[in-house]
Amino acid sequence: MLFLTHQFHTSAATVHAYILFAHPPPPSSITRPTNLPPLPDIMNPYEAAERAVKDANSTEFEGRIIRVDFVGKSAKGNVREENPVAHKDADPKCTLFVGNLDLTAQEEDLRAFFESLLITERGDAPGAVSTEGLTKKLSKWVTHVRIIRDKETQLGKGFGYVQFTVGNT
């Protein structure tokens, strides 16, 4: 809602948004006149969440990189967040711990630094750039950046993680 009304904190460089993929009501509970066509099938919310992570993560929107992570509930009902750096298809061997960061360091700065190093060393990342609508799925060496922040102040804690794509060029 804050994005639509442009009510952002003036000094905030990042914005967090949460989307809940919920189960729709069962078709039997919806009273619908018989002269209307049937409602279209609705995607399973778990499939929708997986697709959002796959299609939207590391895309560019209005000059910013979007990071999409899974958050779910454990079998006991406690909220848990999956590993913010290593996703289902990620190789932990491709993730770098970065320490001694300035507390005001930004993820985009860290991304740009490591991306420029790898482009200098190995050239452009393998793969093509695809454009769909307002977002661009970019082919880059750096796939995820996460600076660990204090929950209250949103200042960095001095460390983070950088995950790289696997490429043999």
User: What is the structure's pLDDT at 82?
Assistant: 47
> Which residues, in sequence order, are bridge partners of residue 110?
none
Within 8 A by CB and 6+ apart from 14, the residues are: 106, 107, 154
Average of per-residue pLDDT across 22-36: 75
Domain edges within the chain: 2-25+39-164
Average of per-residue pLDDT across 139-160: 86
Residue 32's CB is within 10 A of a number of other CB atoms, namely 10
Residue 98's CB is within 10 A of a number of other CB atoms, namely 17
Percent of the chain topping pLDDT 90: 15
pLDDT in tens, 49-70: 888 888 887 787 777 777 787 7
**Lowest-confidence range among 22-26, 70-74, 163-167?**
70-74
Is domain 2-25+39-164 classified as CATH 3.30.70.330?
yes
Q: How many CA atoms lie within 13 A of 70 on its CB side?
A: 20
> Which residues, in sequence order, are bridge partners of residue 81?
71
> Which residues, in sequence order, are bridge partners of residue 147?
160
Assess whether pLDDT exceeds 90 at residue 100: yes
